Amino acid sequence: MRIEAPPSMVQLATEALMRMLLSGRLQPGDRVVENQLTQELGVSRPPLREAMRVLEQQGLITQQPRRGAFVTQLTLHDIYEIVTLRRELERMAVDLGVPVREPARLARCHAALDRHGACARAGDWIGVLEEAVEFHSSVIGLSGHRRLEDAYRSIQLQMLLCMGMNRQARASGESLVDDWDRHRRLLGVIEAGSPEAVHRELAGHGDMAFLDGIEDRVGGHSPESLAWLKRVREGDR
C-alpha cells in the first residue's frame, strides 16, 4: 500500500486561489492583496507568495511594477495557444497510448472518473472541473510518456480556467452528472481500443462551447487566433 504525502501549505494555498478564480471571487483585473488573503485563507505570507508564484508562472497572475499583483485577463490569443497546444498533446498521447497496454494506467483513468462522478453527484461544480482536468491528465498518462505529461501539466491551471468558462457555457443544457457521463463515454471509447475513434470522440467532446461569441468577451485578438476561431467554427478543430 502506497502512503501519499499530505499536501503542502503551498499546494493548499494554490488550490484555494484557483477556487477563488473559478468561483469569480477573484475576477480578471482584480488586485491580489496579500494581507487580505493571508487572513482569509489562514496561511502565512511565505506559502501564499509561493502559491502566487505558481499562478504567475502559469500566466494567471501578473506582477506590475510599483502596483502589485493582479489577476491576468486571458486574451483570445492566450485561449488559442492553450486550446491548440492541449489538442496536439492529447492527439499525441492517444496515438501512443491507445490501445492501452498497461492496466495500471487505465485504473488511474477510472479513479479520476470516480472522483469526478462523486463531485457531480454532490453538486460540487468546482470539484467537477478539477477532476475533469485530472481525468484528462490520466488520459495523457496512457501514453507512458513522462515528458508529454509534464508538458500537459505545465498548462493545467490555464486549462482549468478554460474548462470553467466551458462549464458555465454548458450549464443551462448540461448538468454536472451529464458532464460526468460525457467523460464516461470518452473512457468507454478509449477502452474499445481504436485511436481513430478516440480522436473522433475528442473532436466532439463539447469542450469548446465557450468559444461561441468569445471574441466579443475578451480582447487580445491576433491574426492567428482569429483564423483559428474561424476554422473551429467551420468544423476544423
Long-range residue pairs from 11-20, CB within 8 A, at least 24 positions apart, any chain? 12/43, 12/47, 13/41, 13/43, 13/47, 13/48, 13/50, 13/51, 14/51, 14/54, 14/55, 16/41, 16/51, 17/51, 17/52, 17/55, 18/55, 18/157, 18/160, 19/126
pTM of the model: 0.87
138 membership: H or E segment, kind and range? helix 125-141
pLDDT at position 146 is 96
Other C-beta atoms closer than 10 Å to the C-beta of 12 total: 16
Q: Which of 59, 46, 52, 16 is nearest to 154 (CA)?
A: 59
CA–CA dist 95, 198 (Å, integer): 9
**Are 19 and 60 a contacting pair, CB within 8 Å?**
no
The letter for the amino acid at 59 is G
- Structural domains present in the chain: 9-71 (1.10.10.10), 76-233 (1.20.120.530)
Residues 6+ away with beta carbon under 8 Å from 60 = 21, 71, 72, 157, 158, 161
pLDDT in tens, the chain (237 residues): 555 556 789 999 999 999 999 888 888 889 999 999 999 999 999 999 999 999 999 889 998 888 999 999 899 999 999 999 999 999 999 999 999 999 999 999 999 999 999 999 999 999 999 999 999 999 999 999 999 999 999 998 899 889 989 998 998 899 999 999 999 999 999 999 999 999 999 999 999 999 999 999 999 999 999 999 999 999 866
Residues 6+ away with beta carbon under 8 Å from 225 = 75, 76, 77, 79, 80
* Cell 466532439 found at: 204
**Are 193 and 99 a contacting pair, CB within 8 Å?**
yes
pLDDT at position 237 is 61
CA–CA dist 75, 53 (Å, integer): 20
